[in-house]
Homo-oligomer: A and B are copies of this chain.
Amino acid sequence: MPPVAERTLEVRADFPIFARRFDGRELIYLDSGATSQKPQVVIDALADHLQSHNANVHRGVYALAQEADAAYEEARQKVAAFVGAAAETTIFTKNVTEAINLIAYSWGRANVGAGDAVLITQMEHHANIVPWQVLCRERGATLRYLEVDERGELSLEALDAELARGDVRIVAFAHVSNVLGTINPVAEMTRRIRAAGAISLVDGAQAVPQMGVDLGSLGADFYAWTGHKALGPTGVGVLHGRRELLEQMEPFLTGGDMIASVDFQSASWNELPYKFEAGTPPIAEAVGLGVAVEYLSGLGMENVRAHERALTAYMLERLVEVPGLRVVGPPEAEHRGALASFTLEGIHPHDVAELADRGGVCIRAGHHCAQPLMRCLGVGATARASVGVYNEASDIDALVSALNAGREVFGL
């Protein structure tokens, strides 16, 4: 294996936050799984839009409004193309959480009833759990979980067995787990799900930022992700859906822009994608996200993945050097996204993160919005280090040093 440095993207200078110093120290950011840092081009695009092209979209006749309109729709086209989707079936939401809620409300309430089942997995983020709990309780349906095995993976046989029960209407699962790092075999899963007559929703929040995603070959009915983890601004998420499904669905949020016509007692809906975008959308944020995916495309998603996989492999290698440290999820970097969640004997994850911070290293600790998974893993919380395009091998070294120093503080 070539040394990590050889395969490292050299993009840190594109990200202004790394110019900051914290008590004189550089920022060592290993929390991209929570949110990514933003390249200057994205921030500039957002600021430039507000500075020079700001107007409301969809209704203005004047030149400035047409610029705003064009910028917003161009962003939609870029974002759609980035994952191989069509613009008309690409809906801007505020985050992936809203996108999943949209499906649970609009598709779910019309298609899931008493005696039906919703199937999710033990590795889901709360955003892909709680909306289904609410739906199932309201509709008298059953919420079942696909098990995660000791490697942190799902079993296709278990999926087949669940589908064979004949009551599953929708299977909602993460493309990449935000705790285990597991990369799920989406195409194989959606094929089975479709064959069983069920619908698939894939939570791509962790996947889109770090690997090439082609919705054509993944075959998901719905695919959702979030801008702020993909080098984009906060305040914007994305939902892609199969046209026939989106067309059959009732809208979720209602109000301006999503209507064709409103009478006193009833309204008719606008065409896709507007039917699902009620009110003034996150215009400048979408423009920023368009530039973010352009930036990622410029790097090449295969290079992004190679860079992050190499760093992850290095991280897995180095972390085991720390006594008492246990990493959860698939052992091989090829099978996981760019993160490692771990526990450290004798130190609570919260304290692990605090001690890492003393070494200037930013990692996350807690349940990572995946409490059911924590229960399956038999832990209350874990610490998690996650990498992005701007990380380097030295960041991992700093983490390992901080952890070792932390063990000393705790007298271990």
Q: Which residues of B contact A254 (CB under 8 A)?
A: 97, 101, 126, 130-131, 133-134
> Which chain B residue lies CB-closest to A30?
B62
Q: Which residues of B contact A134 (CB under 8 A)?
A: 254
The reply to whether B285 and A235 contact each other, CB–CB distance below 8 Å, is yes
Identical subunits present: 2
> Is A202 an interface position by the 8 A CB rule?
no
The reply to whether A59 and B234 contact each other, CB–CB distance below 8 Å, is no
The reply to whether A255 and B52 contact each other, CB–CB distance below 8 Å, is no
> Which chain B residue lies CB-closest to A61?
B353
> Is A69 an interface position by the 8 A CB rule?
no
Cα A63 to Cα B64 with chains together (Å): 41
The reply to whether B353 and A255 contact each other, CB–CB distance below 8 Å, is no
What's the least CB distance linking A36 to chain B, in Å?
A: 9
Q: Which residues of B contact A55 (CB under 8 A)?
A: 31, 34-35, 362
The reply to whether B235 and A282 contact each other, CB–CB distance below 8 Å, is yes
Contact with B along A276-311 (1 / 0, CB 8 A): 001111111100000000000000000000000000
The reply to whether B256 and A64 contact each other, CB–CB distance below 8 Å, is no
Cα A17 to Cα B50 with chains together (Å): 8
The reply to whether A50 and B38 contact each other, CB–CB distance below 8 Å, is yes
Q: Which of B34, B282, B362, B372 contacts A234 (CB 8 A)?
A: B282
Q: Which residues of B contact A145 (CB under 8 A)?
A: 264
The reply to whether A60 and B256 contact each other, CB–CB distance below 8 Å, is no
Q: Known contacts A97-B256, A235-B235, A256-B126; decide if A35 and B56 are in contact (CB<8 Å).
A: yes
> Is A114 an interface position by the 8 A CB rule?
no
> Which chain B residue lies CB-closest to A227?
B280
Cα A357 to Cα B284 with chains together (Å): 23
Q: Which residues of B contact A354 (CB under 8 A)?
A: 61
Q: Which residues of B contact A89 (CB under 8 A)?
A: none
The reply to whether B371 and A64 contact each other, CB–CB distance below 8 Å, is no
Q: Which of B127, B137, B284, B350 contacts A278 (CB 8 A)?
A: B127
The reply to whether B262 and A371 contact each other, CB–CB distance below 8 Å, is yes
Question: Could you name 19 residue pairs across A and B whose Cβ atoms are closer than 8 Å?
Answer: A16-B52, A29-B64, A31-B62, A35-B56, A35-B280, A46-B46, A46-B47, A55-B362, A62-B353, A63-B362, A94-B94, A94-B279, A97-B254, A130-B258, A235-B284, A235-B285, A262-B372, A264-B372, A282-B285
Q: Knowing that A130-B254, A282-B282 are A-B contacts, what are 9 other residue pairs whose CB atoms are under 8 Å apart, sorted by A's residue number?
A: A35-B55, A38-B54, A46-B47, A62-B357, A101-B278, A126-B255, A133-B254, A228-B280, A257-B369
